[in-house]
Amino acid sequence: MSLSLSELKLFREVVSLPTAPFCESKVQAFVREWAAGNGIGFEEDKVGNILLTYKTPGRAPQHPWVLQAHMDHPGFEWNSRRGRTVQAWFRGSVGEHYFPGARMQFFPLTGNPVSGTVEVVRRDRESGFLKCRIKLDEAVPLEPGTPGMWELPPWKKRGNRLELRVVDDLCGVVSILMTLKRLKDSGARRKVYGLLTRAEEVGFVGAISAAKNRLVDPAFPILGIEASKAQPNAKIGQGAIVRVGDASTVFDPELTSSLRKTARALHRADPSLKFVESLMPGGSCESTGLALLGYRTCAVCLPLGSYHNMGASKIEAEKIDLRDFESMVALLTEVSQTKPGDSNTAELKKRMLENHRKRAELLYGWK
């Protein structure tokens, strides 16, 4: 199912927002306004994680799906300035050799971005974050905490190929907004939540706080949405990925089986919707972190090029295929209206035991 013009507009708006770990305020403000304008429930915990709710008339299902993504991306935070020289933090996993000479921008609350060049970078032993010395093009006073990102076009579309300043994970955020809007417009019958977390790029800090704050009922199943480095068996353009696991663990088999069943049914009904089933070892995601805290989790993701803006030799835009994104949104929309864990495992068990009943007696003729 192709995106509508209004969905493409929303897509471009969200991925163009500046963000960084602990500096997600512009994303939070956008989502708050979007929810109010579209009749979607909005709640924040005390640290700024967001819970969106598509509410249905009548009785809600016992265990509604929670669609989950994070609002940050590896980036800078303004710390101090002397003349044109700025000291800033960089948080998130990017190789240090990419920094010297790289162009970046700070994004104040109002006004135009402020550009500069990274001169020196070193790792702070205590925090583990990078300290950067940046030379601004012109001396501009900004508030401490102002977010910064690489100086890249936020959106470039060439056919179905998208080159974005941020895919990971603002594409996950906007996929949830699109899904909730589609459910509301269609009058879908099952309640669905959207959990948007902060500071994933520095160790699931927001997601862990959301769990500790009980922003989401621990009984609710969580479907994590990410972008993960493309693999030989999961290439850009081959389809959205039903993510069996990540670099750290595998996910709930019943929930994953539900995703597989729904994805296969969608592809049979519309072959333009494509899916790959794969363990994606390029990194660990919040589905692992939340599973370790007692939640049942599963995951989908987009195959990603130039992960965390790391090109072959320099900083560049992240890359995805629009058709993969469209397939992912179709899957989220469809699976959110199914009963969690409603897979084919019960039928498989029935067939297995029936086969055993018919053939087990042959075991006794082996002598």
What is the number of structural domains in the chain? 2
- Same domain, yes or no: 187 and 302: yes
Decide if 353 is inside a domain: no
What pLDDT does 356 receive?
Answer: 85
Phi and psi for 307 in degrees, rounded to 5?
A: -50, 130
Of 88-92, 148-152, 200-204, 347-351, the poorest mean pLDDT is in 347-351
pLDDT of 173 > 90? The answer is: yes
Lowest-pLDDT choice from 42-46, 87-91, 223-227, 343-347: 343-347
Give the model's confidence band at 343: pLDDT under 50 very low, under 70 low, under 90 confident, else very high.
low
Please tell me the predicted confidence (pLDDT) of residue 342. 65
Is there a domain that residue 358 lies in?
no
Alpha helices by DSSP H, listed for the chain, are: 5-15, 25-38, 170-186, 205-212, 253-269, 286-292, 322-335, 345-359
C-alpha span between 215 and 232 (Å, rounded): 37
| Residue 344's pLDDT band (cuts 50, 70, 90) | low
Residue 98 CB contacts under 8 Å (≥ 6 apart), including other chains: 309, 310, 314, 315
Residue 345: pLDDT band with limits 50, 70, 90: low
Same domain, 64 and 177: yes
Residues 6+ apart with CB under 8 A from 144: 78, 79, 80
Q: Is residue 22 part of a domain?
A: yes
For residue 208, tell me if it sits in a domain.
Answer: yes
pLDDT band with cut points at 50, 70 and 90 for residue 58: low
Check: pTM over 0.85? Answer yes or no: yes
In this prediction, residues 63-76 reach a mean pLDDT of 96
Judgement on whether residues 206 and 314 belong to the same structural domain of the protein:
yes
Asked if 106 and 166 touch (Cβ cutoff 8 Å), the reply is no
Q: What is the pLDDT of residue 367?
A: 58
Tell me the Ramachandran region of residue 174: left when phi exceeds 0, alpha when psi lies from -120 to 50, beta otherwise: alpha
Query: What pLDDT score was predicted for residue 56?
Result: 86
Does one domain contain both 161 and 145?
no
Q: Are residues 172 and 270 in the same domain?
A: yes
Which CATH number fits the domain that encloses residue 129?
2.40.30
Q: Which residue type, as a one-letter code, is found at position 152?
A: L
Q: Does residue 355 lie within any of the structural domains?
A: no
On the question of pLDDT at 358 being above 90, the answer is: no
Asked, for residue 159, whether it belongs to a domain, the answer is yes
Q: What is the mean pLDDT of residues 263-283?
A: 95
38 shares its domain with 187 = yes
**Quick one: 67 and 92 in the same domain?**
no
Domain boundary among 100, 115, 150: 150
Last residue within a domain, chosen from 117, 150, 183: 150
User: What pLDDT digit, counting tens, does each position of 241-254 carry?
Assistant: 999 999 999 999 99
Q: Residue 360 domain-assigned? A: no
Query: At residue 38, what are phi and psi to the nearest 5 degrees?
Result: -120, 10
pLDDT at residue 59 greater than cutoff 80: no
Does residue 189 fall inside a structural domain?
A: yes
Do 305 and 193 have their domain in common?
Answer: yes
Range of the domain at 160: 5-73+154-345
